Structure 1
Amino acid sequence: MTRKAATLTGFVAVLLWSLLAVLTVLTSPVPPFQLAALTFAVGAMVGLIWGGMTGTLGLLRTVPLSVYAVGTLGLFGYHALYFSALRLAPPAEAGLIAYLWPLLIVLLSGLLPGEVLRRGHVAGAALGFAGAALIILGGRGVAGTGAFVGYALALLCAFFWSGYSVLSRRFGAVPTVSVTVFCAATAVLSGGVHMVTEVTIAPTATGWLAIAGLGLGPVGLAFFVWDIGVKRGDIQLLGTASYAAPVLSTIVLVLAGQSPFTWALAGATLLIVGGAALAARASAATRVSAPTGG
């Protein structure tokens, strides 16, 4: 697979993650760890199908336990924090704070071997950050301690996912099918925490459909295509292009009646698209100026 194809494959995850917030809202009042256990169980089944279709299930035995530990911590940590944040704070605002991870990916990836952090990447990330900030500052005022706790958890989400994504690049030789074990382990771990700390709540009919949708898409297939993107594609371009996710997520929430439309969204969209364009230009310049082996 070429670098460009891998980058486009990774961006499919961004499109799927645009549905994460609205589907999470539709699962209410299922508690966060119960939700994680159910959705990741579905995600693990997606992985088994992926492995069967690609003939790579046998490779699971070759993956070091340390890689499984890092992958499980990334998925479990991010989604436990994300689901909790959206239960405590307004979904649009909390989701946008969680989507600060693209900025962190672009900046942190410049520290990876073989990657160059250009001014265009920094400028593009800054524009994207400004766009996300504009939506948050232009959003609804929220009162109550719970909302601010939710925002803090959402911020931790950003650090978890950016760290996981950048570390994934260091495990480039690890097969993508290993995500199946990450999902299964996250489901088991979430189920254990749920049994100890939460009261089980039966999902509504709509909730079951949303859980299935989460497990098949944002908490399933998305991880596999993202793994390909961050390991084989342009991770800096992916990180900055991922600023499309908060815009798409907010639009979906508005269309679903879960969040009101604000004019801040229009301005933020221009900033985010402009940031992605700057980063794309910087990545193209990096490829052109890179020495050719021979």
Structure 2
Amino acid sequence: MSQPRATAIGFTAVLLWALLALFTVGSAPVPPLQLNAMCFALGGTLGLIWAVATGQLSALRKVPLPAFALGTIGLFGYHALYFAALRNAPPAQAGLIAYLWPLLIVLFSGLLPGESLRPGHLFGGLAGFAGAALIIVGGGTGFAPEHLTGYALALACALTWSGYSVLSRRFGTVPTVAVALFCVVTALFSSLLHLMLEETVAPQGLLGWAAVLGLGLGPVGLAFYTWDIGVKRGDIQMLGVASYAAPLFSTLILVLVGIAEPTLRLALATVLITGGAGLAARASLRRKPTVAVSASSDG
């Protein structure tokens, strides 16, 4: 698989994550850990069906322990930390700190063999972060010291996902179908925490169940498989910067369905995020060609 194709496949995860806010709103009042368990169970089932259909089910028994640990910590750890952060700090500020992960991916990826960090990647990442900040924080208040615990959890969240994404490249020979195993284990852990900390609430009506199904098949399902392909075989720095399109597209979707209103802030954020992606793309095109990452036929 060529690097441009893998990058394009990885970017579909960003497009799917843009639906996260819309489907999450529709899934209310399901508590977060229960929602996590339901969605990852769907995502894991989706992967298991794919494994059976493609004859890769036996590969799940051969996933190296380090790769299994990384995948479980990445998927479960990120979401557990994210939910905890939003419970201990204002959602806008905690969400902004958590959304440092695309910029951290750009920075950390420069340490990978065969990768180099160009100024365009860095400036593009900073521009994308500025655009995301405009969308996420909006007109909210500043950072309050009494919420330091929540802010620390959000930073740990960003470090977890960026670390998972970058380190996944070190396990390029592990087939993407292994993500099904990570999803199943994440669903089990989320279920245990839900039973300990939350009260079970069923989705409300057909719309609520459809939102949960949409989450499990898309943003908390297929997205993790396509992201795995992208970070292992694509341009990881370009993907890092392009990930800032997720909050932009998410807000645009909310505007289209009438949940949010178009603003000048949204227009400025659009310019910053698309400009940042353009800078990163230009830096990637100017980079010296590197040897393509070998890939199996599972992608």
Normalising by structure 2, we get a TM-score of 0.88
Moved more, 26-35 or 275-284: 26-35
- Partners of 1:258 and 1:86 in 2: CA distance: 21
Moved more, 26-35 or 186-195: 26-35
Give the drift of 1:70.
1.3
Match of 1:173 in 2: 173
- Partners of 1:85 and 1:110 in 2: CA distance: 28
Conserved in 1, the CA contact under 8 Å of 2:92 and 2:140? no
Conserved in 1, the CA contact under 8 Å of 2:38 and 2:187? yes
Structure 1 letter corresponding to 2:134: L
Query: Superposed, which structure 2 residues align to 1:109-188 within 5 Å?
Result: 109-141=109-141, 153-188=153-188
Structure 1's unaligned 5+ residue stretches are: none
Equivalenced residues, count: 291
Cα deviation digits, residues 262-283 of structure 1 (max 9, x gap)? 3211111101111111111111
Conserved in 1, the CA contact under 8 Å of 2:9 and 2:229? yes
Conserved in 2, the CA contact under 8 Å of 1:107 and 1:122? yes
Matched, 1:79 2:79: yes
CA RMSD, Structure 1 to Structure 2 (Å):
2.6
Cα deviation digits, residues 235-291 of structure 1 (max 9, x gap)? 011111111111011222333444444321111110111111111111111135x59
Match of 1:272 in 2: 273
Match of 1:284 in 2: 285
Question: In structure 2, the residue corresponding to 1:134 is in which secondary structure?
Answer: helix
Question: In structure 2, the residue corresponding to 1:202 is in which secondary structure?
Answer: coil
- Partners of 2:42 and 2:212 in 1: CA distance: 8
Match of 2:246 in 1: 245
Match of 1:32 in 2: 32
Moved more, 76-85 or 247-256: 76-85
Match of 1:214 in 2: 215
Structure 2's unaligned 5+ residue stretches are: 293-299
Question: In structure 1, the residue corresponding to 2:194 is in which secondary structure?
Answer: helix
Identity %: 63
Moved more, 232-241 or 21-30: 21-30
Give the drift of 1:210.
1.1
Structure 2 letter corresponding to 1:209: A
Matched, 1:107 2:112: no
Q: 1:148 to 1:141 in 2, by over 3 A?
A: farther
Cα deviation digits, residues 208-246 of structure 1 (max 9, x gap)? 211111100011111111100100111011111111111
Structure 1 letter corresponding to 2:49: I
Match of 1:50 in 2: 50
Conserved in 1, the CA contact under 8 Å of 2:11 and 2:227? yes
Structure 2 letter corresponding to 1:222: A
- Partners of 1:104 and 1:253 in 2: CA distance: 27
Question: In structure 1, the residue corresponding to 2:117 is in which secondary structure?
Answer: coil
Q: 1:36 to 1:253 in 2, by over 3 A?
A: same
Structure 1 letter corresponding to 2:132: A
- Partners of 1:93 and 1:204 in 2: CA distance: 29
Give the drift of 1:82.
3.4
Question: In structure 2, the residue corresponding to 1:287 is in which secondary structure?
Answer: coil
Q: 1:227 to 1:275 in 2, by over 3 A?
A: same
Conserved in 2, the CA contact under 8 Å of 1:92 and 1:253? no
Matched, 1:223 2:224: yes
Match of 1:23 in 2: 23
Match of 2:264 in 1: 263
Structure 1 letter corresponding to 2:24: T
Give the drift of 1:141.
4.6
Conserved in 1, the CA contact under 8 Å of 2:10 and 2:239? yes
Moved more, 26-35 or 105-114: 26-35
Structure 1 letter corresponding to 2:240: G
Conserved in 2, the CA contact under 8 Å of 1:25 and 1:86? no
- Partners of 1:83 and 1:224 in 2: CA distance: 22
Conserved in 1, the CA contact under 8 Å of 2:93 and 2:143? no
Conserved in 2, the CA contact under 8 Å of 1:88 and 1:146? no
Q: 1:291 to 1:149 in 2, by over 3 A?
A: closer
